[in-house]
Structure 1
Amino acid sequence: MAATLSVVLRSTLNRNQKLTTPFITQVASFYSRPPMKLGKSFKDQMEELNKKDPVLNPDIYIGLPIPDNKKLLKKEKEQWNLNRKELEQISRLRKLNVPLEKVYQEWMKVGWNKDIHTIAKHYGIFRDLFDNATFYPQPILRIFYDYDEEFLTPVYNGNRILPSEAAVPPYVKFDIPSEEKDTLWTLVLVSPDGHLQDNTSEYLHWFVGNIPDGEIGKGDVICDYLQPFPVKGTSFHRYIFILYKQEKKLDFSEERRSPKCKSLDERNFKNFNFYQKHEDDLTPASLAFFQCEWDNSVTQVFHDILEMQEPSFEFIWPAKYVPEQKRWPHLKAFNRYLDRYKDVKEIQEEVLKEKLKKNGPFTGPTPQPKYPNIYRIPMTKPKWLRTKIEKMRLGHEQWKDLYQ
């Protein structure tokens, strides 16, 4: 190493240079450095870019066994391939008649539960009520509200229903397979978006347990029905019906609320905790939900039923930022620049004076011209004044109320 370093030093020196201790130290440190590391290969870089984060809460299935429809789907596909050519010719001639009832029946046989599962996952129902555990609905849940004496309002997968349309308990029906006769069920209606104090809790709107063979009227009413009451200013709320299948008759005395319960504290409910408590005897079987927004009936619910003051949520906009005023603003129209620092009342007074000029006691207000800027503004006027006249003609900015 010493001989090699000596040769290197001699080769780096000129004839007139001498070996000095600092120079020898600098050269020795340069050649004693560790070898430079090579950069990552393209493969390593792509693996790093495409690396997926570990799933912290993978979906856990907690529902009824999923029926195997592979044979049915295979049979349907074979039949479709046989009739495909004939159906295509008829459709090109616009003579193909598609019966909607038949389409609905095919959908019910093949994949309706997967579609509802996808919709519920999209709306965060499994996330908020079951901590990301999922299930596929097995019996389809049909729910209808009375719209009037002649019509009903059905509950679809997230359709919008007004609180006034859901003021009374709905009609509930679900078809039970013949092999599952003499079974018991539980129906729960919760609102995960409407709690006024705790975002992790829900309000219990309806609870009927030990329902024999799908007959809601024969079940035990654990909590009386309370119509939706989405608070004003909070947009749409989800109201979710969860149907559970029971393994045996259960005692829901701990979940029982007082008759015609009016206390929101008493209606506190956590579906996840409820399911954890009874998971050995309850299995989530189906669901349906709708969305609800404030209307005038909500005020009556708070005043007459809940006997409390109606809350209201409003967004308070922050004050508009106005920079410090400069004496010589650069490239700014002086009138528009000064308007930013005027009192609003002064601007409104100026607009009112212009409006009064256009109103006559006998002719009435002057209508806005159909083509406001068709009349040329003389170029002898300064630029700021021409711009102001254009804004006044068009009714822009503070002049929007100049014309009726």
Structure 2
Amino acid sequence: MLNSFRSVWAANIQLQQIRCAHRIRGKAPIFCRTIKERLDELNYKDEIYTTRVDIGLPQMKKLTESSRQSRLEHLKKIKADKNLEQLARNHTLQIDLNEAKKEWLNTLGPQHKKQIADHYGIFEHLYGEGYFIPHLNLEVLYDLKNGSYLPVCTGNDIKPAEALEYPIVNYETDPDSLWTLALTSLDGHLTEGDKEYVHWLVANIPGNSIEKGDTIVEYLQPIPLKGTGYHRYAYVLYKQDGNITYDITKVTATSPLKDRTFVTREWYQKYQENITPAGLAFFQTNWDISVRDFFHKVLDTKEPVYEYDFPKPYLRPQEWFPRRKAFNLYMDKYRDPKQINKEYLLRKLKDEDPFKAPPPPLKFPNAQPFPKNMPSWLRLHEKKIRLGWGRVNDV
């Protein structure tokens, strides 16, 4: 009995968890900040810069309770119509898209445009903490010269060659009102990244007659630089309280780009008592050949070209005597890829004559003998060139 008790006692001693003493890393808990306090400090944002301000016009037609009720009754009536349901199931239901778009613009369209503009960062880069709901529908159409027109919607893709000339602009308004139309590029300033280029600025527009307004900055086609990806271009329509004279130097189509430097936020703050944004339309664009023609023919200068600087891959330190590695491939790892491509291109052009037909390809490329003293790495290299394998296809 005593022996069994001792065995149980020994087993309990062996299974008991013993915690060893340890030192506290850092400050004592009573002096440290909690994880919540640390996160609040890291994520702190000043309310002055995070509180958004509506700088636009109020909603022109507010939805009353009776209009909401009539819309609900109309929806119930449509859902109860079995004929419409049968047409929809048979894919024969026809809807007037113009009427649907008109209804959308009068109800949820402005809110949707504002949400899309927030997604693209339009308001943030134009006005900082300011924003507006575009209650006035701004129609901008580019003439493609083939009987069709390309509209500017909310972030659609338009090539610079499709926007060489100023567009047709239309909006519904009182003919006695005055407006200002501005087109600015939010990306791609050549010298100052936080500024814009103004591509078109027309002031004191009576009603929707753009041609009768005062053109302060003549229209300039989009100029997204090669290698910089997509650029955003925004049309903003401002309602004026009266006739206004902007303190901006007149810019022509052939003026240097530095004369078009513009900051919408500063310009709006200066004239915010006299103008209010009401309409918005914006698009995206990327480089095409018309941008090169603009720099060469209009500005008479070289076209700036950019390329993305990818992070360099890790390469182990170069060895004097690398084992089991091809000589040419190993050495090319530590060379500039552009220089390698240039050598391949020069080697290819060396054997070409514009006045002679290219030599016929070998029927059995690798049946042609190589010199006996040719190194193995060079032999493999020449075989790939004959077969058209590998890097030779890059040029």
TM-score for the superposition, normalised by structure 1: 0.69
1:251-400 correspondence to structure 2 within 5 Å? 251-252=245-246, 254-317=247-310, 320-324=313-317, 334-335=324-325, 339-341=329-331, 364=361, 399=390
Q: 1:221 aligns with which of 215, 220, 225?
A: 215
Inter-partner Cα distance in structure 2 for 1:328 and 1:228: 55
The AA in structure 2 aligned to 1:82 is K
Q: Equivalent residue for 1:96?
A: 93
Displacement of 1:70 after TM fit?
4.9
Identity %: 33
Q: Equivalent residue for 2:194?
A: 200
SS in 2 for 1:302: helix
Structure 2 unaligned regions, length at least 5: 1-28, 348-358, 366-379
Equivalent pairs, count: 327
Inter-partner Cα distance in structure 1 for 2:36 and 2:97: 49
Q: Equivalent residue for 1:21?
A: none
Q: 2:144 aligns with which of 136, 144, 147?
A: 147
Displacement of 1:102 after TM fit?
2.7
Whether 1:233 aligns to 2:233 is no
Displacement of 1:74 after TM fit?
3.5
Q: Say which is worse superposed, 239-248 or 258-267, in terms of deviation.
A: 258-267
Whether 1:82 aligns to 2:72 is no
CA RMSD of aligned residues (A): 4.0
The AA in structure 2 aligned to 1:196 is L
Displacement of 1:339 after TM fit?
4.4
Q: Equivalent residue for 1:134?
A: 131
Cα distance change, pair 102–48 in 1 and its aligned pair in 2 (3 A)? farther
Displacement of 1:128 after TM fit?
0.5
CA contact 1:141–1:287 (8 Å) conserved in 2: yes
Displacement of 1:364 after TM fit?
4.1
Structure 1 unaligned regions, length at least 5: 1-35, 38-43, 353-361, 369-387
Inter-partner Cα distance in structure 1 for 2:290 and 2:321: 57
1:20-31 correspondence to structure 2 within 5 Å? none
CA contact 2:251–2:260 (8 Å) conserved in 1: no
Displacement of 1:193 after TM fit?
0.5
**Residues 170-229 of structure 1 deviation map (CA, whole Å, 9 limit, x = unaligned):** 1111111xxx44110000111121210111111111110000011101101111111111
Inter-partner Cα distance in structure 1 for 2:360 and 2:179: 74
Displacement of 1:83 after TM fit?
2.5
Displacement of 1:276 after TM fit?
0.4
**Residues 27-71 of structure 1 deviation map (CA, whole Å, 9 limit, x = unaligned):** xxxxxxxxx98xxxxxx9999989985554221100000242253
The AA in structure 2 aligned to 1:110 is T
Inter-partner Cα distance in structure 2 for 1:239 and 1:302: 19
Inter-partner Cα distance in structure 2 for 1:222 and 1:150: 30
**Residues 111-143 of structure 1 deviation map (CA, whole Å, 9 limit, x = unaligned):** 111111111111111000111311111221111
The AA in structure 2 aligned to 1:103 is A
Q: Say which is worse superposed, 48-57 or 164-173, in terms of deviation.
A: 48-57
Inter-partner Cα distance in structure 1 for 2:229 and 2:362: 40
1:38-49 correspondence to structure 2 within 5 Å? none
CA contact 1:224–1:261 (8 Å) conserved in 2: no
The AA in structure 1 aligned to 2:70 is K
CA contact 1:62–1:283 (8 Å) conserved in 2: yes
Inter-partner Cα distance in structure 2 for 1:118 and 1:283: 19
The AA in structure 1 aligned to 2:78 is N
CA contact 2:295–2:303 (8 Å) conserved in 1: yes
**Residues 11-35 of structure 1 deviation map (CA, whole Å, 9 limit, x = unaligned):** xxxxxxxxxxxxxxxxxxxxxxxxx
1:158-173 correspondence to structure 2 within 5 Å? 158-173=155-170
CA contact 2:203–2:215 (8 Å) conserved in 1: yes
Cα distance change, pair 399–185 in 1 and its aligned pair in 2 (3 A)? closer
Displacement of 1:97 after TM fit?
2.9
Inter-partner Cα distance in structure 2 for 1:230 and 1:271: 19
Q: Equivalent residue for 1:109?
A: 106
